[in-house]
Amino acid sequence: MNNSDFNLNYQNKSIESKIVASLERISQAFRVLLWQESKEFALTPIQIQVLIFIFYHHNEKCKVSYLADEFNLTKATISETIKTLEQKELITKEFDTQDTRSFTIQLTKNGKKIVEQTSLFSKEIFNPIDKLHQDDKETLLFSLLNIIKHLNQVKVITIQRMCFTCVYYKRSANGQKHFCNLLNQNLQTTDLRIDCPDYVSL
Ligand code: SF4
């Protein structure tokens, strides 16, 4: 395919393809950084991601079906991950008193310790972003949110907890101003959220 983003003859003349190729490199960096952590703690990358997610999210999201959607994996794969984490005594299951087949997942003391040691795995991606000019950071955040919104609309990414797809979000006619009806306040670009605990899907 001549216009593949990975065809160098095409890519080197296209800023859009260079951005796509750059995002691919950054996604590789996430994989590499996660693998480094997993080797150190004898866990797989998805096991670490699940532990970090559980630590930072409300109980209602710490269920097999939600985690399967969150990580775009099957329920069987997440169930297997949970089973292994339970055997390693990093999580426990809290069964629903009304429905004993349903449970939420909680971290044990050791599970929390692993999160403390691994959840800074992305700091080498954070560092160069931290050095950008404030205007560039805002442009980058706004652009990434729009790319993620598109990926959600075409069903590549399932779960969203970001302002642009939230029922409370309103954008001005010229697209320049943002408002949250729940917080009842204008949102500056820096206030736009990628993972909001109050998010309600459109
Ligand atoms: S509730 Fe959260 S996600 Fe929704 S618009 Fe307000 S800040 Fe954004």
Q: What is the pLDDT of residues 92-104, one digit of tens each?
A: 999 888 877 789 9
Give alpha helix (H) positions in the chain: 8-11, 15-41, 45-56, 64-70, 75-87, 109-118, 123-130, 134-153
pLDDT at res. 64:
95
pLDDT at res. 102:
85
Cα–Cα distance, 55 to 129 (Å, whole number): 24
Cα–Cα distance, 182 to 22 (Å, whole number): 36
Rounded CA Rg of the chain: 19
pLDDT at res. 1:
57
Query: Which residues pair with residue 201 across a beta bridge?
Result: 166
Ligand 1 atom nearest residue 192's Cα: 8
Mind spelling out the 3-state secondary structure of 85-116?
HHHCCCEEEEECCCCCCCEEEEECHHHHHHHH
pLDDT tens-digit series, residues 148-168: 999 999 989 887 899 999 999
Atom 5 of ligand 1, nearest CA residue: 169
Q: Is the whole model's pTM more than 0.95, yes or no?
A: no
Atom 3 of ligand 1, nearest CA residue: 163
Atom 8 of ligand 1, nearest CA residue: 163
pLDDT at res. 188:
95
Question: Helix 109-118 crosses helix 45-56 at what angle (to 10 degrees)?
Answer: 110
Q: State the distance from the centre of ligand 1 to the C-alpha of 97, rounded, in angstroms.
A: 32
pLDDT at res. 26:
97
Ligand 1 atom nearest residue 178's Cα: 5
Cα–Cα distance, 171 to 5 (Å, whole number): 32
Residue labelled with tokens 């004993």: 100
CATH topology of domain 1-131: Arc Repressor Mutant, subunit A (1.10.10)
Q: State the distance from the centre of ligand 1 to the C-alpha of 90, rounded, in angstroms.
A: 32
CB 138 within 8 A of CB 168: no
pLDDT at res. 30:
95
Name the DSSP class of 171.
E
Q: Where are the domains of the chain?
A: 1-131, 132-191
Per the structure block, which two tokens stand in for 62?
């710490």
* 202 residues of the chain, pLDDT tens digit each: 578 999 999 999 999 999 999 999 999 999 999 999 999 899 999 999 999 999 999 999 999 999 999 999 999 999 999 999 999 999 999 988 887 778 999 999 999 999 999 999 999 999 999 999 999 999 999 999 999 999 999 989 887 899 999 999 999 988 889 999 999 999 999 999 999 999 999 8
Ligand 1 atom nearest residue 200's Cα: 4
Q: Count of H helices and E strands in the chain? A: 8, 5
